[in-house]
Amino acid sequence: ARVAVMHGVNFDVLERRSPEHYGGITLTDLEVRIKLFGRELGFETIFSQTNHEGEFCEQLHRVADNADALILNPGAWTHYSYAIRDALEVAGVPAVEVHLSAVDEREEWRRRSVIRDLCIATVQGKGVEGYREALEIIARALGFER
Ligand code: DQA
């Protein structure tokens, strides 16, 4: 099965963002780690990142053409983008929301997610390992053995 892994705004400069919250890792390193987690579970992973909200929405419109499930980390858009919420509603594949940091334990404004109730699960505050957990959740949701 194929899993789309979509990163949103500011993930292209992940290694320059607060290491305390994001671990100082580059997006490329993060994607390599996720690819390996996916391989262990028998998934092909398909990656994308954009800083443009409309492009993120258009990727969501098309996601079912290439993937059976979706992991999305929209970054700050998570907290306020109804456009992304509406686009996720038409995506048509099961989605897991992932955040590297513990968004529920940071600033008040990060506690709100406008996509959470459309997702089968949310994983936060577990860093890179959180993506493994998200893939395991997807494996179960798609009825895989492990
Ligand atoms: C983030 C958390 C968001 O609040 C923040 O705006 C990000 C990254 C995370 O992965 O922890 O850009 O989604």
Considering its fold, how many domains does the chain have in total? 1
- pLDDT, one tens digit per residue, over 18-74 is 999 999 999 999 999 999 999 999 999 999 999 999 999 999 999 999 999 999 999
Distance CA 83, CA 32 (A): 29
Nearest to 121 by CA among 98, 145, 144: 98
DSSP annotation of 104 reads G
State the residue range of the domain holding 7: 2-141
- pLDDT, one tens digit per residue, over 95-124 is 999 999 999 999 999 999 999 999 999 999
Q: Atom 12 of ligand 1 has which residue's CA nearest to it?
A: 75
Within-domain flag for 146: no
Within-domain flag for 135: yes
Within-domain flag for 34: yes
Question: What separation in Å is there between the alpha carbon of 110 and the centre of ligand 1?
Answer: 8
Q: Atom 6 of ligand 1 has which residue's CA nearest to it?
A: 76
Distances (CA, A) of 58 to 27, 55, 107: 21, 5, 29
Q: Which H/E stretch holds residue 140? A: helix 129-141
Residue 90 sits in a domain whose CATH number is 3.40.50.9100
Going by pLDDT thresholds of 50, 70 and 90, the confidence category of residue 144 is: confident
Quote the mean pLDDT of the chain.
Answer: 97
Nearest to 94 by CA among 115, 113, 72, 68: 68
pTM above 0.95, yes or no: yes
Ligand 1 atom nearest residue 10's Cα: 12
Both tokens assigned to 51: 């800083």
| DSSP letter string, 26-71 | -HHHHHHHHHHHHHHTT-EEEEEE-S-HHHHHHHHHHHHHH-SEEE
Per the CB < 8 A criterion, the answer to whether 97 and 29 are in contact is no
Say whether 131 is catalytic: no
Angle at 99 between CA 27 and CA 138, to 5 degrees: 95
Both tokens assigned to 129: 């390992």
Within-domain flag for 121: yes
Within-domain flag for 8: yes
Q: Is 102 helix (H, G, I), strand (E, B) or coil?
A: coil
Would you say residue 146 has pLDDT above 70?
no
Within-domain flag for 96: yes
Q: Which residues line ligand 1 (CB under 6 A)?
A: 10, 73, 75-76, 78, 99-101, 103, 110
